[in-house]
Chain A
């Protein structure tokens, strides 16, 4: 069992162009900033958007623009869970869960609700549920129909931050129990890493990176991924023992090759000084503090200069160095702390 999708959608100047394969039992998180086309991708898989391309699940063709084939949503057996649940407001919880069932709907739905610990809510209206309960009912409503493909659109973003962790654990359990293919869309890296086996990073309608959460965060290929991994990402051209950035600045690093490369520098490998340091580090640049951001005992310092970087230092270092926005400082990075991989 697997999903093969080649999807092209063009609308109002926005173009989505995605080619992806998902294998049975896999949970894929489509991660990307707002407006990247994540929801459009999900809607295209559900058949709610007409596409150019080809979508096929277990050899069954959903869409094929070459033969003008388009299987309507209701015939796809695809489960779609919306961001804000979209429970039918005029039906009880039981009627909602039974909606997609044909025979014996209410009995089966009742059993599912019992098992999920929501039996006492069967006769409640959606408006009487908490956000977390509504999310669980929405997922149940889809799961009872035994879809072959489960699509979740920002499943937790409508929830209050205080209950998100709890609902996320519950969601992880339910996803693990579901046997088919799971695709969830999110802009929250934590959600993606907690729930998915594989990340697909979508930016401006295109997949920029794909792989296990560890691989993706270890070797970011975009500013968006670097930001969510919390690392500095630089791009330049390899010149043997150094990298030349687009603005002409150079970074010494062994084995940089002769091709376009990415360089990742972890913020705690960035050292700050008031005066130009002497000694081993070969990468030393002047910088100006742009702003400071406190994270527990550590402070993230955003620096401007020939090589814009984020440094992570201790609160005492901030005090000792009198760091504040506008302060001039010197930056030093050991060449061995820089990891380089082809762009």
Chain B
């Protein structure tokens, strides 16, 4: 069985795979990349997206079997160096001159959400870089090149090297993670079992431990 999953799901899905005893191969990448691969004919059994839009693209292309189900939510958080040396406490702090802020590129979900959050907070940030992947934002903060970045809560939970500064609900954006089986799946029963596990309490608690909010 092959699972195409958003990169941010890797820590949680690796744990789930260890529990369900199904021979599964995981292809973790940015949701856009996965969508592009699937529309170009890549074969997979399950698609777990970090974004409803991409799932809709595949639905419209007629590649999805059944209705996608949202299995987790993710929120944004400000990632800063351990100990928060620059004293960053809110999105507004990111506009401080001299601060090196890195965001995800608006073409990927994390970047799109970050822009939405900054707009809600009415903050203008001049980023030093627009990373094509959230992991790029995370690594630049972790390496100390950037003072702050906007990432998912799950990224902060998984990473040992950064600290999270919460963003209040009024400014935050909640990302929905939908999952679905694919029409051309070769391993239908395994796919169904995997999706069921992800939605069941055991799967949900693993996702929670990885920083996601349950469905």
Contact between A and B in the complex (any CB pair below 8 Å)? no
Identify the B interface with A (CB < 8 A): none
Identify the A interface with B (CB < 8 A): none
